Chains A and B, each alone.
Chain A
């Protein structure tokens, strides 16, 4: 009985050892543990999996030609995960959270951008290549008073993505209104 318990424990540990690093293998990383919503001045949290993305894509296709391009873009995605926190002052987020995110980014990922500026604005962008395309993007952007992690899973067109800024009529981060929404399936 004792031997069986030990065997089961070892099997469970092996299973967890395999399962946890599985995050990061398919383009997705786990950002759920980052949570500063209690202390942040603004919190944006987005969790959209495949079925919800398909639903959004169908809706946006019917909205007009501008939205149709976005619909085509998200139809190729399997997930969109965002956590973004803006704080009233510096020192409100910890580097260990950022380190935990980066720990999931294994050797198969490629860091294509690493920007560090004197004003404390840092951006790192990681790609997970899959053949001739990508199967995931991770963006980690930090400032003294802001922490943002974006994970796009699936085929991402970075050029299209960069052209989308300010196209939605949504003001840039940093305005008074708080934006909070969470949809999970």
Chain B
């Protein structure tokens, strides 16, 4: 029985001490303010990180584009030189072939001058 009385006594409603409600409300406000500050800082960092990421990706893409363009120009130039070299090699080979097969050597001069008509000099 004394246990029952003790429980009733210990769980009986008691009035809060003076200023208790104010202290609780103050503490709530402080916590909320801290959360707002952390949130603003986090947003700012996120924006900066996003900008950096976009900037890095964009710069990388631009550099890659420049490199691709440079390689294409080099390849075009190399292929042009290949054509010139093979043209010359082919020309000389055919000069030799024509001499060997007995074609009029004057024809080689007309080809050299850009004239495709066959001519003969008597």
Contacts and interface: CB of A to CB of B under 8 A. Distances in A.
Nearest to A77: B82
A130 interface: no
Contacts of A152: 89
15 contacts: A44-B84, A56-B81, A74-B86, A82-B89, A115-B95, A117-B105, A150-B88, A152-B89, A161-B89, A166-B87, A173-B88, A174-B113, A179-B84, A181-B84, A183-B81
A41 interface: no
Q: Chain B interface mostly helix, strand, loop or mixed?
A: helix
Contacts of B99: 115, 117, 121, 123
Contacts of B93: 125, 139, 158, 161-162, 165
Given A52-B78, A173-B112, A46 B85 contact: yes
Given A123-B99, A161-B93, A183 B78 contact: yes
Interface string B65-82: 000000110111111111
Interface residues of A, number: 49
Nearest to A170: B87
A152 B79 CA distance: 15
B6 to A, nearest CB: 94
Interface residues of B, number: 35
Contact of B89 (A56, A139, A172, A179): A139
A117 to B, nearest CB: 5
B82 A74 contact: yes
Nearest to B71: A55
